[in-house]
Amino acid sequence: MYLGAGRRGVDMGPSAIRYASIREKLTELGHTVEDLGSITVPEPTAPPSPDDPLKYLDEVVCVANELAKRVESVVRAGSTPIILGGDHSISLGSGSGVANAVQSPGIIWFDAHADFNTSKSSPSGNIHGMILGALCGYGNPSVGDKALMDVAGGGPHIDPQRVVIVGARDIDSGERELLKQSGVHVFTMTDIDRHGMDSITRDAIALASEGAAGIHVSFDLDGVDPKDAPGVGTPVPGGMTWREAHLAMELVANSGKLLSLDLVEVNPILDEHNRTADLAAQLALSATGKRIM
């Protein structure tokens, strides 16, 4: 999927992560792994207008509905889906699918961005920047946001009080106000600098899991500093280090609360020797039990 970001290359992210041997490495770790294949992304019939407030809306909703069905089915069967992207718009499907499978899941959103825009506040109209807001029921129904909010049987799918953003450092002014109103917990890179990744991640797990059946983790690789994850479409300096990202995933695994995991925004065209895709695969291992000792 590239339609949520509007930039080619990120649609090859799943292939790059598979090339990094994610399945083989998870199997070596002792997991039983089944690759369910890729979801077909419809080709748009025409490019959107530059001033379109919701670019490629129909196609994004179509993919989200299909992904939600698959994720719901896997979670209900007692397995843990790992969803490979692709831009962050795919998390509309994975987040709503988890919410349909279990009662009141929490979400930890590792990302340089908040993705809490609506069509009204978004400076670009790119839907990957609106997904977390849509999952929490925020949008402008008169323009078309309702189609995002109503994916997979209708929302809001997630209680904002159980949503935690970790690693944010590039938040638009409009979404900043929405976040303050919503009750979403936001830990910026400043918070990580002050308190450390260990403390912040433990707090995030506690907040997301309070009264919840478990946690959906959505990891945007641009949450990691571009020095360690160069292959992303919207890099922002000053992010998590390679080791901080792994520590966070290790703590998620230790919690025993992981329901599902997104790994998104890997763009092989912008990558160096598949470093970012390899990091995504390694983070999946840390999130599912791999340790140094």
User: Of 220, 225, 250, 271, which one is the catalytic site residue?
Assistant: 220
Catalytic choice (59, 222, 250, 278): 222
Residue 254, CA distances (Å) to 6, 94, 185, 244 in order: 36, 22, 21, 15
E strands, the chain, are 82-84, 106-110, 163-168, 185-188, 215-220, 258-264
Q: Mark whether 265 is an active-site residue.
A: yes
* Catalytic choice (11, 128, 159, 246): 128
Catalytic site residue 113? yes
Question: Using alpha carbons only, what angle is made at residue 12 by residues 93 and 127, rounded to the nearest 5 degrees?
Answer: 40
Give the pair of three-digit tokens for residue 274.
């598949």
Task: Give strand pairing partners of 110.
Answer: 166, 219
Q: Taking each helix axis from N to C terminus, what angle separates 57-76 and 91-101, rounded to the nearest 10 degrees?
A: 40
Which residue in the list 11, 87, 88, 185 is annotated as catalytic?
Answer: 88
From CA 61, how far away is CA 149, in angstroms rounded? 10
State whether residue 217 is helix, strand or coil.
Answer: strand
- Inter-residue contact 276 to 229 (CB < 8 Å): yes
Residue 88 designated active-site? yes
What gap in Å lies between CA 84 and CA 250, rounded to an integer? 19
Active site residue 222: yes
CB 286 within 8 A of CB 263: no
Among 11, 72, 111, 244, which one carries the catalytic annotation?
111
Tokens of 13: 């992210």
Phi (first) and psi of residue 249, to 5 degrees: -70, -35
Tokens 């379109």 correspond to 52
Q: What is the DSSP string of 256-283?
A: T-EEEEEEE---GGG-STTHHHHHHHHH
Report the catalytic residues: 88, 111, 113, 115, 128, 220, 222, 265
